[in-house]
Amino acid sequence: MRRYYFDHNATTPVSQSVLEVLVAALLEVPGNASSIHQDGQIAKQRLEMARQEVASLLGCEPKELVFTSGGTEADNLAILGSVLANIAPHKHVITTAIEHPAVLNPFRELERSGIPVTYLLPGPDGVIDPGDVRRALRPETALVSVMHANNETGALQPIAEIAAIARQAGALMHSDGVQAAGKIPVDVGALGVDLYSISGHKFYATKGIGALYVKSGTKLRPIQFGGKHERERRPGTENVPSAVAMGKAASIAYATLPIEPLRLEALRDRLETGILARVPDAGVNSRNVARTPNTTNVYFDGLEGEALVISLDLKGFAVSSGSACSSGAVEPSHVLLAMGLKPERARASLRFSLGHSNNEEQVDALIEAVVGSVAQLRKLSPTYTSV
């Protein structure tokens, strides 16, 4: 049975071009980038070339990039490191209820240390109102963190407007850009952010490599301790092969930004139109706002999303429900609940996220599979009644 992958927001397959430079780096660049001998200097050169390629994707200077082990570390370093560097005796921070756990959990850690956190709710469309940020600010607010693109709905947040509000108040602005970089044009200067997190495996590089943009002049304390790597912001021997792979992936993403987002948006719209035309009592969450071009989140009333994920998996399609398992129980998405969806509809929602390998034939096959699976599962559902 052929399999089709529609879960690119979870992770992307490593592209062939990226794999080739990764293998070459593993075989040909054995040195430690901190060593002064020739092998070390070759490794250092390759690391800095990769830093330049990633910087070009974000529109920043290479020296403003810190390589990390991924988006989670980048988020933790941005949030904890910036707040620790703020020596004010009283601090307050702001984030949103729709953030990824890689952001929410560092803020909960700050709460445990006695720092008050304001969690902003989105509107029913999944978008944060900049006015809510302004109203939440306090004289002691040290940091505002709002994701650029939501991992479940694809909804884009008004980062430039929020960053301007934070800057006027003297607060730093961080954005989790893990789901935006490589999918839409990103210019950190135009966004006005001080800190911006990305992850390589979200745009066809390897897992285990990410980066944090730190605007020049931004105070940041390390949250790990060791050597003086990465301008004393992140200790540890640099993962040169994965950085090289991320650099290659970034250069490909940058080159294809004029074309690939439009192709994916057309495929996403084809998928949504096909499903909504043939499946009753279905709808798209965050449909009427700006979204990443590859992402759609569809609810199917009367179903459990997990059952539909399994049914589609058995037919050869990888999709996601966006829910998390906790103590053996499937919990509805915290993002969809924050948007005001009832738990039943949140549990009935699926995320489809497209990528390079998908085409019209695969989308049409997915539509057929969804139509069949939904009809079958609704016949078995004790709660579904067609209107």
Active site residues: 325
Long-range pairs for 47-53 at CB < 8 Å and ≥24 separation?
47/238, 47/240, 47/243, 47/244, 49/244, 49/247, 50/240, 50/243, 50/244, 50/246, 50/247, 50/248, 51/243, 51/247, 52/247, 53/246, 53/247, 53/248, 53/250, 53/251, 53/254
Rounded Cα distance, 356 and 264, in Å: 8
- For the stretch 282-285, contacts whose Cβ atoms lie closer than 8 Å and that sit 24 or more positions apart, written own/partner, are 282/374, 285/126, 285/153, 285/336, 285/339, 285/341, 285/349
Grouping H, G, I as helix, E, B as strand and the rest as coil, residue 342 is coil
Which pair of tokens denotes residue 359? 């085409």
Element (H, E) at 16: helix 16-28
